[in-house]
Amino acid sequence: MRLPQRAAPSLARALASARKRAAIGEDANSGLRSAPVFEWLRRAVETHSDPIEQRPPRHLTWSSRLLLIASVAVPMLLFAVAAWQNYRLVKIQAEQRVRIETRELEEHALRALETYSLVLAWIDGRIFGLDWDSIEYDRRLRRLLSDIETLPQIGSVSIVDTLGHIRASEPPLVELPEKVFAHDAFVAQESRDAGVFVGRTPAHHPTAVSFEISRRRSTADGSFDGVIIVSARPDYFSDFFSTVSAEKNFSASLVRRDGALLVRYPPLPGPFVFNADQPIMKAIAAELDHGLFWGRGATDGIERLLGYRHLAGYPLYIVFGIPTGGVLASWRANLVDYLVFAVPASLGLFCMTLFAVRQLHQQKFASWRWRSTAQRLQGEMDRRIKAEADLHQAQKMEALGQLTGSVSHDFNNMLTVLQGCLELLSGRQHDQKLQARVEMALATIKRGEKLTRHLLAFARRQPLEVTRVRVNDLLRRMHELLVQTLGSDISTASELAPDLWPVNADDAQLELVVINLAINARDAMPTGGELRVRTYNTTILPGQLLEEDMREGGDFVVLEIADTGSGMPPDVAARAFEPFFTSKPPGKGTGLGLSIVYGFARQSGGWTTIRSEVGHGTSVTIFLPRSREPDESND
Ligand SMILES: Nc1ncnc2c1ncn2[C@@H]1O[C@H](COP(=O)(O)OP(=O)(O)OP(=O)(O)O)[C@@H](O)[C@H]1O
Ligand SMILES: [Mg+2]
């Protein structure tokens, strides 16, 4: 059977066909079971075009969320640091204030105590050597004591004899002589000279919430001769204490070293003595001269910052305290001031960050859209360029086919005429030499015929002996021949589908095709390698096919011959099917091997493709349509 010749497709048809080849060729191939050796080839083809970038997520990304959290957390942290700093500052300022006030109170108390000791010394000098009757009835002394009594810090002045009776007093006592022998101020001086002694007035005394300062009166020989006592006016101290600070709930006290509270502002209802466990006494025990501590007041239970100072030369302490609540209140007031600025500023910052993050998100999305559109356009352009290249190739092959076909056809006719003439001359030559020439010419004509047959095979004008061929059987028959052709350095592997469909083809031509491919593979593997032969069935869906005449799609038998050889660069692969294209040295190759494969596949109603990569190998795949004729052998 001779297949009809096909006219060259029009430009539009060829363009459509070439585009489809570009688009469908990948789909058809991806549906096929690829040999593992060429899996990398398929991946290389798939990864050729850049994948379209992933769409940015609709929700906020982690980095954006972190930014938003930071826009709230950072101002909060700054606020916390500022609050802490301010707390420390407020504390330091309060401590400074307490130190200053305590010192002021100390100075005031020292001045008063100086006055007491001066007064005592002066009275002592005035009555030195006088007997008790003189003291009791000395009018001038009375006047003097009365003048002294008018001093604001002095409540009363008394001169007490050795038995503890008050012998002179201002203001005068109602009942004289009163006994003061139980008073601290008297007892302390009785046994020894206690200097200027500060003692408490007994609780039952009318001026109980007060204290007394005494000085011993001695005779010329130094023996005990009574006591001069000045009682202090507590309001003199407490009035001053009340003016020393503007703090609410502050306290100021004059305390004796043994814990006796002599004066306090605000005043207490009765006498009070600090015991050794109380904070002030512990602080004094730890640091005698002066100190500062935070503690709860023993008298009113208010938490205070307390400062104390020892009054030099006296067993007395000034204690001043401001309530912790007041210190914290001013700190809290500062915090409110900060918040007035910080809250709107933080809110503003948060809103601005939110706005910026959303803008950024939108920009990202817009830029993604722009990039994906650009990528799609680029892909379209690439596909168009490839389709045009395929079209160009198809046109070239078609033109070459026509040219080759008509030239070789005419040339073959001429050779036939020449052969006829030479055959007439052959055997009629008496001259041996001439007969030899005729035979040589006939042999050359045979070679020329072989060449034209090859060219006609490419041009698809060669008459084919089409029969029903079982490709697997043909390959098995050729196995020995192939092994011989390839040589010992090249191993063979075959993977033949057991249920392979039969095809309609010229089996002699198919054998020639397989041999051509095997020779090409051998030449590409000079140092050895592997030749893989694979067959399988495939179904191409309608409209999926590449060529106009195969639009209906259908069942195809695929024969794939692959090697692990040197491979072809893209420019060689693009021209490999062209007749007379060879990369081999002159005399080694005619460049007709793959042209025959191409012509055979097309003339048999199928097509062929090449996949190749330099250094990795080449795979030639031939698609032949399934035979629809009923199986004669019925096997
Ligand atoms: N398996 C292959 N591996 C590498 N290159 C190949 C392979 N098959 C073909 N080629 C390249 O394609 C070119 C054309 O091959 P083709 O079979 O048509 O001609 P040829 O082998 O050069 O000569 P011949 O007519 O003797 O076959 C080769 O010269 C070679 O460069
Ligand atoms: Mg070849």
More confident of the two residues 521 and 161: 521
Q: How far apart are the first and last CA of the chain?
A: 24
Alpha-carbon distance of 247 to 237, in angstroms, equals 18
What total of structural domains would you count in the chain? 1
pTM: 0.49
Alpha-carbon distance of 612 to 41, in angstroms, equals 8
- 597 is a domain residue: yes
Q: If you write DSSP's letter for every residue of 40-55 in order, what string do you get? A: HHHHHHHTTSPPPPPP
Alpha-carbon distance of 616 to 65, in angstroms, equals 49
Q: How far is the CA of 624 from the centre of ligand 1 (A)?
A: 22
Alpha-carbon distance of 167 to 87, in angstroms, equals 60
- 332 is a domain residue: no
Q: How far is the CA of 627 from the centre of ligand 1 (A)?
A: 30
- To the nearest 10°, report the CA torsion of 565, 569, 575, 580: -60
Q: pLDDT tens across 30-66, in order? A: 333 333 333 433 444 444 445 556 777 777 788 888 8
Q: How far is the CA of 596 from the centre of ligand 2 (A)?
A: 9
- 178 is a domain residue: no
- 121 is a domain residue: no
Could you give the percent of the chain with pLDDT greater than 90?
38
**H or E stretch at 106:** helix 62-127
pLDDT value at residue 467:
92
pLDDT value at residue 547:
59
Give the mutation target among 458, 512, 520, 608 for probing the ligand 1 site: most ligand atoms within 8 A of CB: 520
Residue 321 near residue 98 (C-beta atoms within 8 A): yes
- 590 is a domain residue: yes
Residue 539 pLDDT greater than 70, yes or no? yes
Band of pLDDT at residue 120, cut at 50, 70 and 90:
very high
Cα 364 vs. chain centroid, distance in angstroms? 18
Residue 618 near residue 612 (C-beta atoms within 8 A): yes
Residue 101 pLDDT greater than 90, yes or no? yes
- 63 is a domain residue: no
Q: 175 vs 11, 168, 206, 519, CA distance in Å?
A: 149, 11, 14, 152
Alpha-carbon distance of 6 to 1, in angstroms, equals 16
Give the highest mean pLDDT range of 196-200, 397-401, 601-605, 614-618. Answer: 614-618
Alpha-carbon distance of 120 to 198, in angstroms, equals 12
Residue 316 near residue 262 (C-beta atoms within 8 A): yes
Q: Which residues surround ligand 2, an ion (CB under 5 A)?
A: 520, 593
pLDDT value at residue 75:
87
CATH of the domain at 42: 3.30.565.10
Give the mutation target among 527, 594, 608, 621 for probing the ligand 1 site: most ligand atoms within 8 A of CB: 594
- 368 is a domain residue: no
Alpha-carbon distance of 35 to 617, in angstroms, equals 12
Residue 547 near residue 557 (C-beta atoms within 8 A): no
By the 10 Å C-beta count (0-12 exposed, 13-18 middle, 19+ buried), 335 is classed as: middle
Residues in the chain: 635
Q: How far is the CA of 451 from the centre of ligand 1 (A)?
A: 17
The greatest distance separating any two alpha carbons of the chain, rounded to the nearest whole angstrom, comes to 201
**H or E stretch at 492:** strand 490-496
Q: What is the DSSP letter of 550?
A: G
Q: How crowded is residue 219: how many other Cβ atoms within 10 Å of its Cβ?
A: 11
pLDDT value at residue 496:
96
Query: What is the average pLDDT value for the chain, to the nearest integer?
Result: 83
Q: How far is the CA of 503 from the centre of ligand 2 (A)?
A: 24
Q: pLDDT tens across 300-338, in order? A: 888 889 999 999 988 899 999 999 888 888 889 888 988
Residue 501 lies in domain: 11-48+464-625
**Structure tokens of 49?**
């075009």
- To the nearest 10°, report the CA torsion of 393, 397, 399, 403: 150
- 507 is a domain residue: yes
Angle ∠(616,610,538) on CA atoms, nearest 5:
110
The ligand 1 site (C-beta within 6 Å) comprises 516, 520-521, 524, 563, 565-568, 572, 576, 581-584, 589-595, 618
pLDDT value at residue 379:
92
Residue 155 near residue 231 (C-beta atoms within 8 A): yes
Residue 119 near residue 148 (C-beta atoms within 8 A): yes
Q: Average the pLDDT over 424-446 and give the result.
A: 90
